[in-house]
Amino acid sequence: MKSVADLGDLQGKRVVIRCDMNVPLSGTETSSASGRTITDDGRIRASLPTLNQLRDAGAKVVILAHLGRPKGAPDPKYSLAPAARRLGELLGAEVKLATDTVGPSALQTVASLADGEVAMLENVRFEPGETSKDPAERDALAEKYAAFGDYFVSDGFGVVHRKQASVYELAQKLPNAAGSLVKNEVEVLKQLTEDPARPYVVVLGGAKVSDKLAVIANLIKTADTLVIGGGMVFTFLAAQGYPVGKSLLEADQIEAVQGYLNQAASGGKQIVLPSDIIVAPEFAADSPATVVSANAIPEDQLGLDIGPESAKVFASVVAGAKTVFWNGPMGVAEWEAFAGGTKAVAQALTEVDGLSVVGGGDSAAAVRHLGFADDAFGHISTGGGASLEYLEGKTLPGVAVLS
């Protein structure tokens, strides 16, 4: 992959850059995103190094990005206005926001740029061709994007696992390069998959085991230890014959989980499961919490976090590793009563004498919510889905396409 520096003199050149501005917003969806505030600006901050590099080089910067999942049509709930506003604050310079993606406003906004200035076009997912399954539709939209630039820079790691017009087809239409964010993400993932320092520990959490089956299948071959928490753990407990009460359970995945437990045992790998669970009668922040044994969850209770003894064990396993990858909180980390397991794992990651990687998504949001600074960890990924697919052994189209 070329870097931005490999593109040569960018003074006065138009550079179209795909960034990841898909940030969480406060409150419930209203008629417009403009009245809501960003609750975690980590992805916007991660885009700053490449954007400042382009500005310093005198380029005219045109940002393509998305927010949420609009259904191929303009929707004020998913406007990029909050992202443009926050990015302008962080850059200390105006970010001109077009009111459309490839229409008259976008054309006028790009044409008005002076050297070193930044424009953001409206949500690319307002265009049906962006995520179309028809390559011809994506290609036609990419042609319109390409008309805005002389070069293309890919710096939205959170979308490189998708064949989308602003990620895949556009890279084929302009001289391209990877931004520093994408290059750094790929370099870190290579360290996790190509001869990682050992012990190599992978911590997996989050709601559904079905979301992680492929990555478990691949990592059970390369990691030394898998540590399992979050909602997905109850399928593991059920696979061992334990009652899980009202806890989240994917009964159709029990057989697959039993297979992984057997595979780990026969292959000399360790799967660490919690010995105690914090349960409550209802899924609510103020529901009364109690600690029970992981093999005896009451019928009328549901698990919402790993227990205090499990938190100590998980933290010890993590802190003793030389390489750690973590994806998924250990419980409902946004609620204080059920955040202890996630906080213990996060703290242990800060103490790792080696490479510690927080695998994006809910994990990244959780550590910031719990008060941890980004630089306390070796690396915080901006793309949970992209990271997991790489660790599954899949090719990331948005990376492979970069010449």
Q: Which residues contact 103 (CB under 8 A, 6 or more apart)?
A: none
Residue 402 lies in a domain: no
In a domain, 400, yes or no: no
Strands 302-306 and 276-280: antiparallel
Residue 160 falls inside a structural domain: yes
The DSSP secondary-structure symbol of 92 reads T
Are 191 and 146 found together in one domain? no
Tell me the HSE value of 197 on the side-chain side, using a 13 A CA sphere: 11
Which residue in 23, 20, 59 sits closest to 39, CA to CA? 23
In DSSP notation, 55-67 reads: HHTT-EEEEE---
Tell me the one-letter amino acid at 85.
R
Q: Is 162 annotated as a binding residue?
A: yes
Question: What's the rounded mean pLDDT across residues 354-363?
Answer: 88
Same domain, 274 and 141: no
Residue 93 lies in domain? 4-179
CA 152 – CA 245 distance, rounded (Å) = 52
334 carries a ligand binding annotation: yes
- Asked whether residue 21 is marked as a ligand-binding residue, the answer is yes
In a domain, 100, yes or no: yes
Cα 265 to Cα 259, 269, 272, 316, 333: the distances in Å are 10, 6, 11, 21, 30
pLDDT reported for residue 120: 98
Q: What is the pLDDT of residues 10-61, one digit of tens each?
A: 999 999 999 999 998 987 666 677 778 898 899 999 999 999 999 999 999 9
Higher pLDDT, 361 or 366: 366
Examine the domain organization and report whether 216 and 168 are in the same domain.
Answer: no
Residues 124 and 253 in one domain: no
Q: Is 386 within the bounds of a domain? A: yes
208 within some domain: yes
Is 351 among the domain residues?
yes
22 a known binding residue?
yes
Residue 351 has pLDDT above 70, yes or no: yes
Could you tell me if 171 and 313 lie in one domain?
no
Can you tell me the distance from the alpha carbon of 84 to that of 23, in angstroms, rounded to the nearest whole number? 11
* Position 83, amino acid: A
| Phi and psi, residue 25, nearest 5° | -115, 155
Closest CA to 109 of 127, 125, 94: 94
For residues 244 and 286, membership in a common domain is answered with yes
212 is in an annotated binding site: yes
Per-residue pLDDT tens digits for 191-205: 999 989 999 999 999
132-165 in b/e form (b: 16+ CB < 10 A) is: beeeebbbebbebbbebbbbbbbbbbbbbbbebb
Is 68 annotated among the ligand-binding residues? yes
Q: Which of 179, 214, 241 is the last residue of a domain?
A: 179
User: Which one of 179, 204, 234 terminates a domain?
Assistant: 179
For the chain, give the longest Cα–Cα distance.
Answer: 67
CA distance 248 to 207: 8
Instruction: Count CB atoms within 10 A of the CB of residue 221.
Output: 10
Question: How far from 353 is each of 91, 158, 167, 206, CA to CA, in Å?
Answer: 34, 27, 36, 25
Same domain assignment for residues 137 and 210: no
Let me know whether 221 and 271 are in one domain: yes
362 is annotated as contributing to ligand binding: yes
Percent of residues, the chain, with pLDDT higher than 90: 85
Identify whether 88 is part of a domain: yes
Indicate whether 208 and 175 sit together in one domain. no
In this predicted structure, the answer to whether residue 102 has a pLDDT above a threshold of 70 is yes
Is 330 marked as a binding-site residue? no
> Could you tell me if 255 and 141 lie in one domain?
no
Please check whether residues 141 and 223 belong to one and the same domain: no
Helices then strands, counting H and E runs in the chain, come out as: 13, 15
Q: What pLDDT is attached to residue 33?
A: 74
Torsion angle (degrees, nearest 10) of CA 121, 124, 128, 132: 140
On whether 369 is known to bind a ligand per the annotation, the reply is: no
**Cβ atoms within 10 Å of 231's Cβ, excluding its own:** 23
Residue-wise pLDDT tens digits, 269-320: 999 999 999 999 999 999 999 999 999 999 999 999 999 999 999 999 999 9
Q: What CATH number should be reported for the domain holding residue 118?
A: 3.40.50.1260
What distance in Å separates the CA atoms of residue 248 and residue 349, rounded to the nearest whole number? 27
**Tens of pLDDT along 67-81?**
999 999 999 999 999
> Total structural domains in the chain?
2
**Three-class SS of residue 42?**
helix
Q: What is the pLDDT of residues 313-349, one digit of tens each?
A: 999 999 999 999 999 999 999 999 999 999 999 999 9
- Distance, CA of 395 to CA of 161 (rounded, Å): 8
Cβ atoms of 324 and 293 within 8 Å: the answer is no
Does the annotation list 360 as a binding residue? yes
* Residue spans of beta strands (DSSP E) within 131-221: 151-154, 176-178, 200-204
Residues with catalytic roles: 43, 208, 361, 385
Q: Is 363 annotated as belonging to a binding site? A: yes
CB 349 within 8 A of CB 380: no
Show which of 126, 150, 179 is a domain's final residue.
Answer: 179
| Closest residue by Cα to residue 347 from 203, 206, 192 | 203
In contact, 21 and 66? CB cutoff 8 Å: yes
Same domain as 235, residue 161:
no
